[in-house]
Amino acid sequence: MDRRSAMKQLAILTGGAVLMPACNFSEESILQAYQNLQITQSDHALLSQVTNTIFPGTTLKKAEELMIPDFVLLMSNDCLNADQQNGFVKGLKGWEDFSKKTFGKAFSKMDQKEAEEAIIKGMALEGENDSEAGYTRQFLNTTKRFALQGYLNSEYFMTEIKPYELVPARFYGSKLIENA
């Protein structure tokens, strides 16, 4: 065997061996991606309920079908600074108790209409940013922003609802060109 080809094959084999562990996209690795947020399964389920309230899936797909809760958590983990992450997590962890105290019912027990009203009222809360109302407002506004971004950039939306076309789009001339 030629030394050059042996070195080439060894380099490719070594690169592949180094790359293989990074190609694991199991559920465990997805939950490990949120280490800055320290999210539990119950927090993830609550966030799924909030995003499904924003995108209920009556005429279009539900948020959970498009993995919008995972997108919201990933964006919150990667794009927010430490103070914003802290406010998001405090708002998420306190949302169930806040809705029980404010609306008389836990958010997970509300029907669609009550949940929509709770989110609208929660987003309109006034108060200091370091208060319970401030954390709730920050959590809901961040969730809404990232859920909308994830939904509008999802493959489903870009292919089935509003197909993407490169710029400049098709040219539709208004006059026919006749043979001269």
pLDDT digits (tens, 9 = 90+) for 108-164: 889 999 999 999 988 888 877 778 888 999 999 999 999 999 999 999 998 888 887
More confident residue, 172 or 80: 80
Q: With respect to residue 120, please indicate whether it lies within any of the assigned structural domains.
A: yes
Number of domains in the chain: 1
Number of helices (H), then strands (E), belonging to the chain: the values are: 8, 0
Q: Does residue 168 lie within any of the structural domains? A: no
The CA distance from 102 to 38, in Å, is 26
Residue 53 falls inside a structural domain? yes
E strand or H helix at 38: none
Q: Find the domain containing 95 and state its range.
A: 36-161
Burial of 83 (0-12, 13-18, 19+ CB in 10 A): exposed
Mean pLDDT of 2-21: 85
pLDDT digits over 36-55, tens only? Answer: 788 888 888 999 999 999 99
Mean pLDDT lowest for which of 8-17, 86-95, 134-143? Answer: 8-17
- In the predicted structure, residue 63 carries a pLDDT above the cut 80: yes
pLDDT at 151: 93
Identify whether 179 is part of a domain: no
152's tokens: 């509008």
pTM above threshold 0.75? no
Cα–Cα dist 45/109, whole Å: 13
Q: Does residue 28 form part of some domain? A: no
Residue 10 lies in a domain: no
pLDDT at site 49: 93
In a domain, 174, yes or no: no
pLDDT at 1 over 90: no
| Tens-place pLDDT, residues 22-37 | 766 555 544 566 777 8
Question: Residue 129: what pLDDT?
Answer: 74
pLDDT at 126: 83
**Inter-residue contact 150 to 66 (CB < 8 Å):** yes
62 DSSP assignment: -
Q: Is the pLDDT of residue 78 over 60?
A: yes
Q: How far apart are CA 63 and CA 138, in angstroms?
A: 20
Whether the pLDDT of residue 87 is over 60: the answer is yes
Residue 1 falls inside a structural domain:
no
